[in-house]
Amino acid sequence: VVRRRLLQRYEHQPFISCLAGFYSCRWKRYQRRRTEPGKCCCKTVNSRKICTDVDFCVGAAFCFSLVFLYMWGEAKNDYNNFDWYNYGNLGFWFLWSLVLLIVAGILFTYIALLLVLAMCLLAEGQQLYLHWSHKIGTFLVLIFSITALFILSILWKDQWKTVRLSFQITAPYLHIGAIIVMVLLSWPMALHAIRADKKVVQVIIVGPYLAILLFLFLIPLGMYSPCIREMGTLGPKPALIGHRGAPMLAPENTEMSFQKTIEHGGDGLETDVTISYDGVPFLMHDSTLRRTTNIKEVYPNDTAQNAALFSWDTLQELNAGTWFLKDKPFSCMGSLSRADQNQAMNQSIYKLSNFLRLADSQNKLVIFDLYRPPEKHPYRNSWINRTLEVILNESGIRPHLVLWLENDMRSFVQSVAPGFQQTMGSKAPVEDLLMDNIVKLNLAYTEMSSEDIRNYAEANITTNLYVVNEPWLFSLAWCSGAHSVTTDAIHKLKNLSQPLFLMTPQQYNIMWILTDLTSVLLISLIFAL
C-alpha cells in the first residue's frame, strides 16, 4: 500500500505531468489511477458542482472571446473610424483598434489552450482541477469579452451588420472549420460514450453531438453568398474613388493625397468641403483643425475653434502634413520613401477650386460632403450658392464630372447646373429617385444588398459604397454588383483581378459533399475503434 501511494505521488509520466502542470500547476502530483470514461472524475456532489461551474465558465469564456475576436477581426475595415472616435474623446491619436485586436487574440489563445488541456486530461482519465490563477484568468477573459461586446454594441452597433456581411464570404469556410472541430471531438466523445455504464448516459453524451453534427451537415442548404455564382455572370470590377485621396499614402485631403490616387489609377476623388470665414471653400473633414494641422503650435488658443471661423489667409499659414508622419493614422501604412516624406511635410490646406482643376485635368469624377457653416458665419445661408460659384465660375470643371450629393436646394442646383450627376445619400423608392433625377446612390457599405443594387441598376441608377478598404469586403461589393466604391486603400484594391472566394455552385457543392462524406467516414471509424 505504501509503495503504491509513493508511486501515485512520485511516479513520472511526462505527458500527463505536463498536462496537469499547465492546467492545475501540479507538476509532481497527478491522479495515478485513471477514471473510466463515462464516469465523473469528481467524487462528491460539491466537487461535481464546482467542476461543472468551472467547466461552464471556461466554455462561456471561450465562446464569448471567439465571438469578440471574430467581430473585431472583421471590423478591420473601420479601424480608422474607431481610432478617430477615440481621438475626439481623448484628444490624442493612438492605434487603439490594433491594441484591442492584439488583446482579443491573446485572450482567445489563452482560453483555447486551457480548453485543449482540459480535453486532453479528460481523455487521459484525469480529474480536472483548474488552478486558482487560471480561474481568475478565465473570469477576466469572460468579463472582458462580454463588456467589450456590450460597449461596441451600444457605440458601434452597425458593426454587427459588417459581421452579417462577412458571413456571406466566410460561411462556406466556417462550415468546413466547424466540421473539422466536430471530427476532432469525436474521439473523446466515442471514448466516453462506449465505456459508459448505462445506455441513458450514452444517449446523453452522443445525442447532442449527433444533433449538432446533423445541423452542420445541412447548413449549406440555406447558405447564400453572391460570390457563389455561375461562370460569366460576374459584373465588371467596381470603379475606385479615393476617400479624401489616398490617406494611407499621404495626408488626407491634400494635393499630394489626390495625386497619389491619380497615380494608382483611381477613377474618382472624394473629399469634404468647408467654407472659410471670408468665403473660400477649402477641404477639411473635421470640424476643428486640431487633428490634421499644426494649429496647436501656431495658434494654441484656437485649437477648439470651428475650422470655418478662420480666414483663408490664416488657414494658409498652417501645415497639413506633419501630423501624418507623426501619428501614422493607419496600422497598415507601410514606410514612405524619403521623397514622399519630404513632400508630405510640406502639404498645406487645399482650396476647393484647385482640387476641381486637378480633377478636371485628369478627367476624374468628384464627390464631396458639403458642410454648412456654423451660426453667425457670413455664409451661413449662402453656402450652397458660394460653392456653386466656385464650381461653375472659378474652377472650370466639366459639369458631368461632379457628383452632387448635397440634398438641400437640390431643385435650385439642377436649374443652375443641369449637367451635374445628381447623387442621393440614402435608399429610396425608385420612383422617387427618378422624379428627382437621381442617377447614383452613395451608400454606406453596411447597406449593401445585391437585390437592391440590381433593382436600382435596372432603372439606370448606379450604386457607390463607402468606405471599403478590405479585400474581402471589396470582393463582396464586386459580387453584389456595386458600380464603384470609395476607399482608403486604392493601392491595394487596384491589384485585385477577380473577387476573393469566387466559386461556381458546382465547385461549392463538390467541396460541401466531400467535406461531409470525409467527416462521416472518419467519425464512423473512430466510433468503430
pLDDT tens for the chain, 529 residues long, are: 444 554 444 344 676 777 777 787 766 554 444 454 445 445 444 444 445 556 678 889 999 999 999 999 999 999 998 998 898 888 888 999 999 999 999 999 999 999 888 878 777 767 778 888 899 999 999 999 999 999 999 988 889 999 999 999 999 899 999 999 999 888 878 877 776 777 887 788 788 888 999 999 988 888 889 999 999 999 999 999 999 999 999 999 999 999 999 999 999 999 999 999 999 999 999 999 999 999 999 999 999 999 999 999 999 999 999 999 998 898 877 788 999 999 999 999 999 999 999 999 999 999 999 999 999 999 999 999 999 999 999 999 999 999 999 999 999 999 999 999 999 999 999 999 999 999 999 999 999 999 999 999 999 999 999 999 999 999 999 999 999 999 999 999 999 999 999 999 999 999 989 999 999 999 988 887 7
For 58-88, b/e burial (b = at least 16 CB within 10 A) is bebbbebbeebbbbbebbbbbbbebbbebbe
Q: Which helix (H) or strand (E) holds 270?
A: strand 268-275
- Residue labelled with grid coordinates 505504501: 2
Whole-angstrom distance, CA of residue 162 vs CA of residue 77 = 9
Contacts of 285 (CB under 8 A, 6+ apart): 244, 252, 253, 272, 292
The DSSP secondary-structure symbol of 498 reads S
Which residues on neighbouring strands pair with residue 402, listed in sequence order?
Answer: 366
Whole-angstrom distance, CA of residue 404 vs CA of residue 391 = 11
- Taking the alpha carbons at both ends of the chain, their separation in whole angstroms is 35
Whole-angstrom distance, CA of residue 39 vs CA of residue 214 = 26
**Residue count (the chain):** 529
Contacts of 472 (CB under 8 A, 6+ apart): 166, 169, 170, 500, 501
> Hey, what's the cell of 48?
461535481
- Short-list 264, 286, 318, CA closest to 494: 264
The DSSP secondary-structure symbol of 309 reads G
